[in-house]
Amino acid sequence: MRNAILVDDRFNENMQALLDKEVDEPGESQPLVFGQGFGGITDIEVGLDGYLYVLSYSGSMYRILPST
């Protein structure tokens, strides 16, 4: 099971500040966009396979995969 979201150097914010895995500075609470176009989201869960699953209000389910 995953316990973190890994981001690469394309992320524009200060990566060093995220290493402690705590939101204790104002800049650390900025949004991290991992997808869009879901509509209203009703649930987000980590599946047994370790991937993130998003359930939209319309009933569609999306699996978030790492970019290659």
Give the count of beta carbons closer than 10 Å to the beta carbon of residue 26. Answer: 7
**Cα–Cα distance measured from residue 11 to residue 39, given in angstroms and rounded to the nearest whole number:** 23
The domains of the chain are located at 15-64
- pLDDT at position 14 over 80: no
The 3-state DSSP composition of the chain as helix, strand, coil percent (nearest 5) reads 10, 20, 65
pTM of the predicted model, to two decimals?
Answer: 0.57
Q: What are phi and psi of 36, to 5 degrees?
A: -155, 165
pLDDT of residue 1 exceeding 90, the answer is: no
Once rounded to an integer, what is the mean pLDDT over residues 25-47? 81
